Amino acid sequence: MVGQVAYELELPKYLAVVHPVFHVSILRKFIGDPSLVVSADTIMVKDGFTYEKIPIAILDRQVCKLRTKEVASITVLWRSQKVEEATCEAEEDIKSRYPNLFEEQAD
């Protein structure tokens, strides 16, 4: 404990760039499942490696009415993710980046 509302955490060496002091409001109790832990050495990540999220389905569509306009949002299911991990995105943003996703929905 650094102060009344801050804790200094002991972080692994690969997180050396992260400041180790955190406010208590962002800390949560965590009970991990050791069977789900994968060693970073096992994965063999390459420098410069990037990951692109690819949408595979639109699960839901909603229109929020603001004072002067309506904004459409969609729930997107991404490749290699569970349905519970689907995210809410602005429809126009997804439509401009992934127009083929909407062509499939029209069928």
Whether the CB-CB separation of 59 and 77 falls below 8 Å is answered with yes
pLDDT band, residue 58 (cuts 50/70/90): very high
Return the SS3 of 12: coil
Give 55-106's CATH code, choosing from 2.40.37.10, 2.130.10.10, 3.40.50.2020, 2.40.50.40: 2.40.50.40
The enclosing H or E element of 58 equals strand 55-65
Checking if the pLDDT of 107 tops 60, the result is: no
CA atoms within 13 A on the CB side of 37: 5
Q: Give residue 80's pLDDT.
A: 85
Query: What percentage of the chain reaches a pLDDT higher than 90?
Result: 18
The domain segmentation of the chain, as residue ranges, is 55-106
Q: Closest by alpha carbon to 61, among 88, 23, 30?
A: 88
Residues 6+ apart with CB under 8 A from 95: 101, 102
Q: Is the whole model's pTM more than 0.75, yes or no?
A: no
- Give residue-wise pLDDT tens across range 20-47: 898 988 888 878 888 888 776 777 767 7
Q: Cα-atom radius of gyration of the chain, to the nearest Å?
A: 20
| Distance separating alpha carbons of residues 91 and 89, to the nearest angstrom | 6
